[in-house]
């Protein structure tokens, strides 16, 4: 069984093809700068000896339809996929499912219409996701297609966690509430943590920390998300690469009055020019760490603020859970920045969190435990794999749908 996973952006298409017999990656690629004269496709195909053969194509790609055609051609030319009929299904990442979608969903016209109604909740993401869906359906009309929503895992939040303290009418009429994001990643690493700990997923209390350019924390209790740091949008919560995270909302009104900026300009300021970049001018944690070591005080402040916010969430979610079995780090920073992991866990002995520095700094990319033998809480580093999780969920849904059809006959 082959499944293709597509993550469509406003000017990009990222894809992977999995052989679900062993969950191996047969091919993957990224088409960037769609709509520009210097569009670029970087593709790799699995060849003999578990080696990937890489190619690059540069050509003007006017739109996503041309992009999908180019990808099809490259898949065929490299032997990765002779035609789309070889696929058992296509799984699409969709950022916002609102309250309408809590599970993987087979895509039809009605589903597309509903996703379109959710565009006001994710104006930068859902339109691009929809474009990818529509182009893929047109290019592979006989292949079942499935939507996997970033928000779905967090639809188990209880009302006291997802409501904001604003007039209830705003929730009823405009669906303003906490939705949370990175759900596919949090779900994947939480399940991997259960496997590493050899414990049933449904019995564990976990804090999962997805730390990349975007960052979020989630409290997982008995297999479900009960709180998460991102809110109505991905802007809330932890300090991120270019997003401010938690903020006094009155700052927005103050900026409007004192600077004359429009709401769109402030939106761009808080999403694209704030966070680590706003503090020290750089949003890559590796570069920030180098600057801090060289004595740059702004870089040092950025790291200190980042860690302070992170530790506050660890403490608050420990209180929410009541019992913490494991703290899980994932994402580009969470998986690779040993110094950030160490500093985040420092002086948390009262919570039962004690890191082993030798294990923490070991040079490996495998899922691993990095806690001290004296730690009551296990500390794990688990590489995330959102594409594989999307493929897994797509496979399960298609198999379930097939079994139901067989049973109906």
Catalytic residue among 150, 227, 325, 392: 150
Distances from the Cα of 205 to the Cαs of 316, 371, 376, in angstroms? 14, 16, 13
How many Cα atoms are found within 13 Å in the side-chain-facing hemisphere of 226? Answer: 17
Structural tokens at position 272? 């694209």
Answer whether 74's CB lies under 8 Å from 88's CB. no
* Span between the terminal Cα atoms of the chain, in Å: 23
Of 396, 207, 232, give the one whose Cα is nearest residue 311: 207
CA dihedral 33, 233, 28, 17 (to 10 degrees): -130
At 96, phi and psi to the nearest 5? -120, 120
Q: Two tokens at 284?
A: 């890559």
Rounded-to-integer distance, Cα 395 and Cα 148, Å: 12
Rounded CA gap, 32 and 42, in Å?
Answer: 9
Query: Among all chains, which residue has been given the structure tokens 């070889």?
Result: 86
Which whole-number Å values give the CA distances from 23 to 13, 17, 19, 78, 143, in the listed order?
21, 10, 5, 20, 19
Q: Are 259 and 290 in contact (CB under 8 A)?
A: no
Rounded Cα distance between 233 and 230, Å, is 7
Active site residue 150: yes
Scored b (16 or more CB within 10 A) or e, 18-32 reads: bebeeeebbbbbbbb
Which residues are designated catalytic? 150
């Amino acid at each position: 069984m082959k499944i293709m996973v597509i993550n469509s952006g406003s000017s990009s298409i990222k894809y992977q093809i999995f052989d679900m017999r062993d969950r191996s990656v047969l091919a993957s690629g990224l088409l960037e700068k769609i709509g520009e004269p210097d569009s670029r496709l970087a593709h790799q195909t699995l060849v003999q000896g578990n080696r990937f053969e890489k190619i690059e194509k540069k050509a003007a790609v006017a739109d996503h339809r041309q992009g999908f055609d180019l990808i099809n051609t490259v898949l065929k030319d490299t032997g990765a996929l002779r035609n789309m009929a070889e696929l058992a299904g296509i799984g699409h990442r969709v950022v916002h499912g609102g309250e309408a979608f809590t599970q993987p969903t087979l895509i039809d016209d009605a589903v597309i219409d509903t996703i379109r109604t959710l565009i006001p909740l994710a104006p930068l993401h859902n339109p691009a996701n929809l474009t990818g869906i529509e182009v893929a359906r047109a290019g592979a009309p006989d292949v079942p297609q499935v939507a996997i929503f970033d928000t779905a895992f967090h639809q188990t939040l209880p009302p006291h966690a997802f409501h904001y303290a604003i007039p209830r009418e705003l929730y009823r009429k405009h669906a303003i509430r906490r939705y949370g994001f990175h759900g596919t990643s949090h779900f994947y690493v939480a399940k991997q943590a259960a496997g590493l700990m050899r414990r049933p997923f449904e019995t564990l209390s976990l804090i999962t920390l997805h730390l990349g350019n975007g960052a979020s924390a989630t409290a997982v209790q008995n297999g479900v998300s009960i709180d998460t740091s991102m809110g109505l949008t991905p802007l809330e919560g932890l300090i991120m690469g270019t997003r401010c995270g938690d903020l006094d909302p009155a700052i927005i009104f103050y900026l409007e009055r004192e600077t004359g900026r429009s709401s769109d300009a402030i939106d761009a300021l808080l999403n694209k020019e704030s966070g680590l970049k706003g503090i020290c001018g750089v949003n890559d944690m590796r570069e920030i760490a180098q600057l801090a070591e060289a004595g740059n005080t702004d870089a040092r402040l950025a790291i200190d603020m980042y860690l302070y916010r992170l530790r506050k969430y660890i403490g608050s979610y420990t209180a929410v859970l009541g019992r913490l079995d494991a703290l899980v780090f994932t994402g580009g920073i969470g998986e690779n920045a040993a110094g950030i992991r160490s500093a985040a866990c420092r002086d948390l002995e009262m919570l039962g969190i004690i890191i082993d520095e030798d294990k923490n700094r070991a040079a490996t990319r495998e899922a691993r435990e990095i806690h001290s033998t004296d730690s009551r809480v296990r500390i794990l580093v688990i590489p995330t794999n959102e594409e594989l999780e999307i493929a897994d969920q797509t496979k399960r849904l298609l198999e379930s749908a097939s079994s139901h059809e067989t049973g109906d006959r």
